[in-house]
Every structure is written in C-alpha cells, then in structure tokens.
Structure 1
C-alpha cells in the first residue's frame, strides 16, 4: 500500500524559503480563524495591495495570498485560509484547511500559523485554537478586537492567558492597525509548537491511533485521530490509504459523530476552566443593550424585511443609475480611442484593432463602475455587521427553493448586471448553494435587456393607461422582470433536487457587533474584485468579441465586394445621402458576411419561433452583449448604429413579411421578448461563471439550459399567439 510521506519537521519547500541568505529569510505563514474574527482585516493590514487571488490546487475555492515585509531582512508569504469554527469541516471552503494542514509534504505547507481570535468572544474562538495547538503546529495568537472587548466590559489578563496557552499572544485591533507591528516582530522569530495540550484521546482509541501514526509516519496522536475522522475526505490520500483507514474504523467500531461531539464538550469544559483565571466581565447588560435594541428593529419579522427592501432599493438604484455616468464616459472614451486609431490609416489590422480589440476592451471596462459600486455596498454592509442580519432573515425563505440567505443580494443585483452579481456569490460558503445561485442569476432581467424590451414593447404595446393610473407599457415591462424572477426561483427549486453534494448545507451565522466600516478595507475589496474581473473574465470577453467581429467583417469569396457594389447601385437609384449610402453598404455587407451566412443557415431552426434571417443575425451578434441587438437591427435596416430608438421602431414597424403583412406582429414581438428574457445572450456572464467555477462545465450547462428554455418558451408563445 502507498504511504503518505509525512515528516516530523517542516522542510524548506523551494529556493525562496531560505534562511541566512543575502536576501534574508523568507517564511510561509497561514492565517486561520473564526468568521468575523478580523482575519481579513489583518490580512489586508499585513499585505496591503501586495495580494493576489488564485485557487487551491484541485478545488474551486479561492486562495488569497499576499506578501508582507516583517523586518528589513525577513519577508513572508501570507496565506489567508477560509474562516472556520472547527477543524471538522462542514463545507468545501473549510476542507481546504485540513487538506493543507494535515499534509506536511504539501506544496504550500506553512512554516507556522497565526490564529485570529475575537477577544470579546474568547470561549467560542478558543475551540479552533485548542485543536490547532493539539496538532502541535507552531503558532501565534492574534488577540483581536481588544477595543470591542473593552466596550463590553471584558478584561483579559494577557500574560496569564499566554502562560496557560503556551504560545505568544499579541493584543491588537486589526481594523485600525493597532498591534500589527508587534505581530510582525513575533512572526519574524523562530516559533516552536505550543507547550500546552488541551485534549487527550481515550485509552480505547490509542491502539487504532498508534497504528495510524505508524502507517502514515505522523508526529502526534491528535493528527492521527483526525485521519481516522476525515480520511475519506482528505484529497492527498490514495485509494489504498482510505481503504486502510476504513478497515481500521470498522475493526475498532469507530463512531466519528459521537466522538466529535464528546471532544467538543471536553474542549469547552477545559476552555471554561481556563478562562475563569484570565477573564473578568463587567457592564455586560449595559453594553449589549444598544445592539439588542437595533436587532429588535433590523431583524423584526415585519420591519426587518421593509428596511431590507429599502436597502436593496438604494443598492439597485446605485448600480442602475449612479453607474450610468461613468459608464457613458468609458463608452465615449473607448469610442474616441477607436476613432483615433482609425486616423492612423485604413486596412484590416486597423479595423481589427479599433472595431475588434478596442471594442472588446470597451465591453470589459464598461462593467467596472457597476462592479465597483456593487462591491462597495456589499463591503459596507458586511463591515457594519448588517449583512449577517440580512442572511439570517432571508435564509428560511430562500432555503425552500434550494438557495441560501446570502443568495438574496446576488439575485437582486442581477437586475442591474449578472457579472457583478455572480461575483458577489463568493459570500456563500456552501458549494451547492453557491452553484445554484450562480446558475440562476442570469435569469434575472438585467439592465442590458432594457434596450431590447424598450424597442419591442413600444412596437406592439399601446401607450395607454390601465385603471387610469398605470401605463400599459410599464405593466408589460414589469411583467417581463417578474417572469425572470419566477423562472430563477423555480429553476433553483428544480436544481436543488438534481444537484447532489456530499457536504450538508449548514447555516451558521454569527451576529458581529455593529461598527463603522473601515474604508481601507472597502477600498481593497473594490480593487480586488475589479482586478479579478478585468484580468480573468475580461480575457474571454475580448477573445469572443474579436471572433464575432471577424465573423461580421468578412465573408466567403468576394461576397462583401459584390454586396458593396449592389448597395452603391441601389443608393444611386434611390438618390440617398452619403450617410444613408454608408448605412446601406453596412447592411448589405453584414448580410453577406460569415455572420450573415450563419444567420441564414440557422433561419430554418428559428422559423418556428417566428424569426427570419435578420433576427438570426441579431441573435448571433448580441451574444457579445444583449444590448447589441438594437445596434445590429439598426445596421440591418440601414438606419445607422447611432440611430435613436424611435427611428429603429419606425423601421421595424415598416418591415413586411413575404405576404406583404407587418412582420413584427404582437406574436413575433412577444416571442422575441420571451426569448431574451430567458436566453443566455451575454458572453460576459459566461466568462464570469467560468472565472467563479474554475471551469467550463457550469458555463456550458448554463448556456444549454437557458438557450433551450428560451427556445421552448418562445416557440410556445409564438404558436399560441400567431
């Protein structure tokens, strides 16, 4: 049988992990702690902008790493591990911790760990610390939120606590940077394992534990006990290793669940005894009253939901309205840059650069204001402590549909743009809940659909009042948004039954104290999310935009030259102006391009939906972005890309079918509207799903499902109404 090579002492893992060199020492440090213990604030204080987001090997979980200069001679790589309450993982995020810390031969195994603990809630936070201590990992305890503890009347004898825990302890306030310098000095030293132990396995377990220690060459009993508990879930173990552990568990009748429960009880008993000597609490009721009064309003069964709806309304208005001006500036800037490039000359390379690459970059940069605003709001809500209350209120409702309390913000944000909405699902810890949320977010009608909705609704829906108050066109528009929301919820409910996940979905949410946001952390969050979108999803968006440009700009043989000659002949006969002539040429060229050929080739497939080859081309080109539909229809009907909505509507209203009847009947318009409600017509969304799921499986499933749903419902709509 294969054995996991585990050594007693961590060894250098590459040329950068050295001591005594001219460049100084270089250490690898892992940050670990409970959620809301200040771990992310500490990571930001240590690394600043010297951080990057990758993923842990073999899993779709983000891995945040950064670089910190501890002393002039000592630099450290900092690994920010996911927040967890215990070393018994309940989610995919938490499993990466055990995969890293239990395999001393792993690439990236830390030289030591920094455990962050909330000083105002030491009893709960020390459970994780004692588990790590019993693994005999070199560590330092960052006793964070000392200011909050003082406000709650909690006094901690740090020297006595340090003596009882057997590790260096640094009192600090990571949000304000207090204690960070002292922590760096300690981190630069050679640290040994804790001198205290907190839990001993029972005598009945020792024979099995010793066999595991010998087989895997482990350095202590507690690590061997965790191999027994979690062997089936440790990625680095071979099939033979797991089979061996399974045989031992069966032989010794190892009851993992009851043993975990008993261990937790024993640890809390030891922690309670320890804290009697080091912690004094005064003024608890007085300090907790303000928080409790706020919670009675913000989590009220009626007022809590109304307040949350108001917060969502403000968030939605910000993303929808406030981002419009910077997005227009970016759009104008990209158009200006493209025009400047065209001044350099003419030719395919100039056209590729201006209409393909620069236009594709514009499609990436256009989303930055929305992404920045969304994550600014989310960061403020999280930093203030309000987001925890929201997820608590919404979880019970959302869980019935296979979602999570934290799915609310992505779904609502999807009404502005699916790209930042999908990125915001990172706050959902459970893999299944997060995947379902990512999958259904694009069904929410985003702002990019508004140009399509506006043109088609105004085309076939009369501008009149309903009940003397409501505009009929506005009612139809609201109906389209509701249709998207209902489809998202029902799709999530269906996916809940189909999608299987080994980990159970637990909702553990701690209410952090209310506090003012730290704007440095908010700024770092915005920069990190924008960078992730631009450099990850942006590459795919630009590539596909260039591909679509090539298809729309070139055609088989001399088809485009012939199309231009035909267009000029028609323009001369009709005595068109130069601008009208250029629009007509663009329309004929698009019709005879590869995109036009493809549009005609798929026309038989979309005929049952009521569409012709012109609509087919619009469906193809709008895959880059849904709003491209209007520009494509403008080109096809020779009204120019800069035509206003009313001009486009007039051209569509005048279009005739083969029988001389109006082409865009209510049935066709409704069919097209339904298609755009459900279709995945956005490469940016697919690219972002690829970025968030670390693979093409889910984007392709998303594309197939939404395209199929759009086709079927569009077919039903047209056949019923025609």
Structure 2
C-alpha cells in the first residue's frame, strides 16, 4: 500500500511553512516541480500510531483562480493536472485566525474540490490575545470539515493534527471517494457572501483593533522616516556582514590551516600532496571561509520576511520603483537577490504582468548576491584600510555598502531603459497584504539557515572542488623546461590561456592571472577566490589562507586594478545557474542571452572607466 500524501496549502503569511516545519522537523527535502523552478518542499511525518505520511508544502496562494506561477502550481497539484505530480489524498488548509475574513474565501474554494480536508486555524494565540473568540464547533459544522486550532511556532495543535491525519488513514477505505475536480473551478455561489454569513455565526467576540501595529506602521510606512529606517536596516546588514563574521571566519581559517598542516606532515611531498594542499584545500578553503558572512546575509533576509517587515518595505518602495518602471512587487525578488539571484528570479512569479516580470528577471543579477561576497571581502580587506569613520562604522563596511548601492543604482537605471525601450506600458497598481508583525521563530530561522548552509557546502564540495582540481592541474602542467627562469605557472596550460586572453583584458587593468581566474568564475562567482588562490599557488604554512592571498594581491596589483575588478563583479553576469534559471522561467533562450550580453558590456565599460579614471587620479 502506497504512503498517504497530504498537501499543505494556504494563503501567504498564514504560517503554512512554520506549520510544515513543526510537523516534519528536519525530515524534509527541497527540489523543483517538474518543468518549472518553483521550489517543491516535501517532508515526512510520523503519526502517533507509527504511520509515515508524505507532507507536501504547496506554494502560497490567495485563490485557486491562478494569476501567478505560484498559484498555478497549487491549482494544478490540487486538480491533479501537473505532470509528474500525483494529486494529494488529503489537504490541510492553513488559515490565519486573525485574518479569517480573507482566508476563509480560499478555504471555501479548496473545499469545493471535494478532496478530504482539514482546516488548521493558525495563530490562535494572536487572535485570543486580541480578544477574538470563535465557536470552532459551529465552524466545523458550517464547513463540514475538521477544524483544529494551532500555533505553529509553538507546536500547539500539532498532536491533534497528527491524530486527525491518522483517523483519515484508518477510515479512508470506508469513505465515499470524492468526485474528481473539473477543469473549471466549481465556485461557491457568491462566495464572499457565504464568508460573511459564516463569520457572523462563528465569531463570538471580534478582535480589538491593533493600535500598536497602526502606530508602528505610521512610522515604518512614512515616506521620510520609513525610507530612513529602511536605509539604516540595510546599512546595519552590510556592516554586520563584514564585522560580525570575523570571529567564526577566523575559526574556519584556523581549521583549514590545521588540516593542511596535518596533510603536509603525513603525505610525502609530490603531486598528490600538492593536489590536496594547493588544489583542494587552498581552493575550497578560500571559499568556505565566507560561509559565516553568507549565513548572516540570509539571517537578515529571513528575519525581515518572517517579521512582516519585507512586505512593508515593498509598499514603501512602490512609488520610487514606479518612477523607473518597476512594479512594487519587484522589491521583494530584488531584495531576495541580495542572497542569491536564483531565488530572486524565482520569486518574480508573484508578479502578474509578463513585462513587469521580465524586467525584474533581467535586472535581478545586478543585485549584489552572496556569491560576490568572497570576492568583495578579499579585495576590500587587501586594498581598503579598516579606518574607523564613526563609532562602529568603518571604511571597509562603507565600501561594501557602496558596492551594494552601485548594483542597486545600475539595476534601477537598466529597468528605466528597458521599460522605455523594450517593455513599454504603464505599471499596474500595487495590491499587497501587510501581514501582522510577529517575532520570527528561532527554529524556523535555524531551519532556513541550515538549508542555505547545506546548499553552500554542497556547492563547495562539488562545483568548487571540481573546478579547483581542474584549475590546479591546468596551472601545474606541463612542468617547466630545464633551466626555466619564470615561475612554473607561466609554462602551464593555464598560463597559455591567460596570455592568450590578456590583450582583451589589459585595457581594463587585468593581467593574465586574473584572466585565468575569471574563466572558472563564469560557472560560479565565488570560484574566483579559489581560482586566484590556486593560480598564485598560495602556500599558507602557519598563516591564514585569505590573509596570505590578500598580501600577495596587494603587492602584485595596483589599486586601479582592484577597483576595476570590483566594478567588473558589480555588473558581470558570471553565473551559469542564474542563466539556466532565467531560461526556465522565461521559457526562452532569448532573454538569458540578452542578460549575459548587456551585463558583460556594462561590466567591461564600467571597469574601463574605473581603471582609467583612477589611473589619472594617481591612485
């Protein structure tokens, strides 16, 4: 007998993902739905009777009349019309008890599909705190499905959900099979009137107005004070990335060096020792050391999302973004792109109009993603003094902030040009729900960070490891001839490639070694650091890997070269995964090729101007 499949669905901000984490714990895996890049999260839960159940976390949806890609996936899974995805045996509908008037409409839509369902009425603690009282027995009678009150972040109600799922499994053989859903939704006649009728019966006491939320919103959404708050939040985030991660980075550096010392003392000198130390550990170690900074960035973004601030930031930025032709909903994908352009591009599926979505996809890679952090951190530490500007604010952090601002400014400028030339038309008005403020669950933050850490370490153990080994081989062979006076790498395959492309890169201040490191960097930006470490054959005996590499770069490069490379990485689209996701999201190679072309031209022009301007300034 096949394992029962339960789907978890509900509107955004209903606490659906928190409930999914509470039910499955760490027993979950993330993939994509067939044919699209929408994230598919599935976990396993075990009932008190020992029955294992597959739990699928569907994308958030306001309606089963799909307007976005997220809603279409939820629609197709529930209707059984998504190829490669079997329909669920049971649906758990998650609704926000504090926002029942809007959420109940979605509940009625799902119930109309005649799939066995359970209503998880979430955030009951907030509803009770506001003085709201509901007659849950009467609500069960009206909806004709089990209603279970839950507080997902505290795991309250999860045991009752387990029992309800187990009861369904034990009795489903005696239940009347539901009719298959039609291709068109069977809407409840005048559904909103039905919602009003049900609520008038089941709400015993209405919730008190949330005056403190209104007071916060008056400040957070104020054109001046709200914008200043957003600027300070982003500034704090970038200062934290550079300063707070220092201690754990030191631990990782020491750990890498410790392993290198052990191998050096226990493996005889020769090709194998060189491969492990100079190829694997130097290459992978040069990237893995930036894991604390990347996790800090994700921590800030997850915190802003879970607290309810992200939607307000999007609302606040709507007027500004409209001036450059961007839809207000583009703010969240663009801010997500600070972590990685891939989920940022995937998040554009919440944007309804195709031209608005395409514009956002094409500029998302200009946001400074976490893969750029290792390069920025390496070059800033090597060439920018850590001067204190004011209190905890230091010059290196300000330079990092400036690089992020440069990417933002470039994205807005490109969006303005695209909307004026390629995607003409007026922007649609922004309609966005402002969720209740809440303190994020530490467990949910921890699970989110753990998932990101796994992805980063997996990349370090696969893509970066493979490219580091390949580059080590290219930089080590063939061996120099007898009596050679130049360093060995000059005679290697990598050296020959570097010298071949050097004439193209020389006008922007890059030498042949940078050219060699740029090539594997097209697969993944962060590989640039490990590639530089391998090319320069850093031997960090007794010293920290990145400090040693930074010292060598500071001696070998000029400041104009370093600034030129920083500008190159602001604009260049050096990420094959981003191009692949753009291809799948747009269903065309036209837009990824256009993205790669315009960003490469922009990067070359920006680096050229930076290099020659700073040379004339005598820097």
TM-score by length of 2: 0.80
1:600 aligns with 2:508: no
CA distance in 2, matches of 1:271, 1:477: 51
CA distance in 2, matches of 1:498, 1:708: 18
Paired position in structure 2 for 1:560: 480
Paired position in structure 1 for 2:313: 390
For residue 136 of structure 1, report the CA deviation from its aligned partner.
Answer: 0.8
For residue 45 of structure 1, report the CA deviation from its aligned partner.
Answer: 0.8
Residue 105 (structure 2) aligned to one of 111, 127, 139? 127
- Structure 2 CA distance for partners of 1:706 and 1:541, relative to 1, 3 Å: farther
Paired position in structure 1 for 2:601: 708
For residue 59 of structure 1, report the CA deviation from its aligned partner.
Answer: 0.7
TM-score by length of 1: 0.70
Asked whether the equivalents of residues 371 and 420 of structure 1 are also in contact (C-alpha less than 8 Å), the reply is no
Paired position in structure 1 for 2:92: 114
For residue 290 of structure 1, report the CA deviation from its aligned partner.
Answer: 1.7
CA distance in 1, matches of 2:202, 2:29: 39
1:340 aligns with 2:262: yes
Deviations 1:280-309 (A, max 9, x none): 334624xx2121112111211211111222
Residue 514 (structure 1) aligned to one of 418, 432, 437? 437
Residue 439 (structure 1) aligned to one of 362, 365, 369? 365
Asked whether the equivalents of residues 475 and 492 of structure 2 are also in contact (C-alpha less than 8 Å), the reply is yes
Structure exhibiting the larger radius of gyration computed from Cα positions = 1
Asked whether the equivalents of residues 312 and 412 of structure 1 are also in contact (C-alpha less than 8 Å), the reply is no
CA distance in 2, matches of 1:489, 1:187: 49
Unaligned stretches of 5+ residues in structure 2: 173-177, 352-356
Deviations 1:395-430 (A, max 9, x none): 33234446565665776787xxx6557556666553
SS at match of 1:369: helix
For residue 618 of structure 1, report the CA deviation from its aligned partner.
Answer: 5.6
For residue 33 of structure 1, report the CA deviation from its aligned partner.
Answer: 0.5
1:272 aligns with 2:199: no
Unaligned stretches of 5+ residues in structure 1: 1-14, 18-25, 194-217, 228-262, 466-470, 568-586, 654-663
Asked whether the equivalents of residues 430 and 505 of structure 1 are also in contact (C-alpha less than 8 Å), the reply is no
- Structure 2 CA distance for partners of 1:306 and 1:345, relative to 1, 3 Å: same
Residue 551 (structure 1) aligned to one of 474, 483, 492? 474
- Structure 2 CA distance for partners of 1:542 and 1:405, relative to 1, 3 Å: farther
For residue 595 of structure 1, report the CA deviation from its aligned partner.
Answer: 1.0
Asked whether the equivalents of residues 288 and 457 of structure 2 are also in contact (C-alpha less than 8 Å), the reply is yes
- Structure 2 CA distance for partners of 1:122 and 1:679, relative to 1, 3 Å: closer
- Structure 2 CA distance for partners of 1:446 and 1:132, relative to 1, 3 Å: same
Deviations 1:351-394 (A, max 9, x none): 22332233343255333212322222233323332222222212
Paired position in structure 2 for 1:139: 117
CA distance in 1, matches of 2:32, 2:514: 41
Matches for 1:67-78 after TM superposition, within 5 Å: 67-78=44-55
For residue 83 of structure 1, report the CA deviation from its aligned partner.
Answer: 0.7
Paired position in structure 2 for 1:448: 375
Paired position in structure 2 for 1:64: 41
- Structure 2 CA distance for partners of 1:593 and 1:704, relative to 1, 3 Å: farther
Paired position in structure 1 for 2:354: none
SS at match of 2:249: helix
Asked whether the equivalents of residues 30 and 42 of structure 2 are also in contact (C-alpha less than 8 Å), the reply is yes
SS at match of 1:311: helix
- Structure 2 CA distance for partners of 1:89 and 1:385, relative to 1, 3 Å: same
Paired position in structure 2 for 1:213: none
SS at match of 1:30: strand
For residue 688 of structure 1, report the CA deviation from its aligned partner.
Answer: 6.8
Matches for 1:531-542 after TM superposition, within 5 Å: 531-535=454-458, 539-542=462-465
Deviations 1:533-563 (A, max 9, x none): 33357522222222222221213xxx5243x
1:175 aligns with 2:97: no
Residue 102 (structure 1) aligned to one of 70, 75, 79? 79
Deviations 1:120-173 (A, max 9, x none): 222211111111111111111111122222223222111111111111111222
- Structure 2 CA distance for partners of 1:49 and 1:434, relative to 1, 3 Å: farther
CA distance in 1, matches of 2:514, 2:374: 21
For residue 598 of structure 1, report the CA deviation from its aligned partner.
Answer: 0.5
For residue 530 of structure 1, report the CA deviation from its aligned partner.
Answer: 1.8
- Structure 2 CA distance for partners of 1:109 and 1:633, relative to 1, 3 Å: closer
Higher RCO (C-alpha under 8 Å, 6+ residues apart): 2
Residue 488 (structure 2) aligned to one of 582, 589, 592? 589
- RMSD over aligned CA atoms reads 4.2
- Structure 2 CA distance for partners of 1:31 and 1:629, relative to 1, 3 Å: closer
- Structure 2 CA distance for partners of 1:425 and 1:359, relative to 1, 3 Å: farther
Matches for 1:316-331 after TM superposition, within 5 Å: 316-331=238-253
1:529 aligns with 2:425: no
What count of residue pairs does the alignment treat as equivalent?
580
Asked whether the equivalents of residues 319 and 373 of structure 1 are also in contact (C-alpha less than 8 Å), the reply is yes
SS at match of 1:63: strand
Asked whether the equivalents of residues 53 and 65 of structure 1 are also in contact (C-alpha less than 8 Å), the reply is yes
- Structure 2 CA distance for partners of 1:304 and 1:718, relative to 1, 3 Å: closer
For residue 436 of structure 1, report the CA deviation from its aligned partner.
Answer: 3.6
Residue 134 (structure 2) aligned to one of 153, 156, 181? 156
- Structure 2 CA distance for partners of 1:535 and 1:398, relative to 1, 3 Å: farther
For residue 30 of structure 1, report the CA deviation from its aligned partner.
Answer: 0.1
Asked whether the equivalents of residues 51 and 66 of structure 1 are also in contact (C-alpha less than 8 Å), the reply is yes
Asked whether the equivalents of residues 242 and 377 of structure 2 are also in contact (C-alpha less than 8 Å), the reply is no
For residue 701 of structure 1, report the CA deviation from its aligned partner.
Answer: 6.3
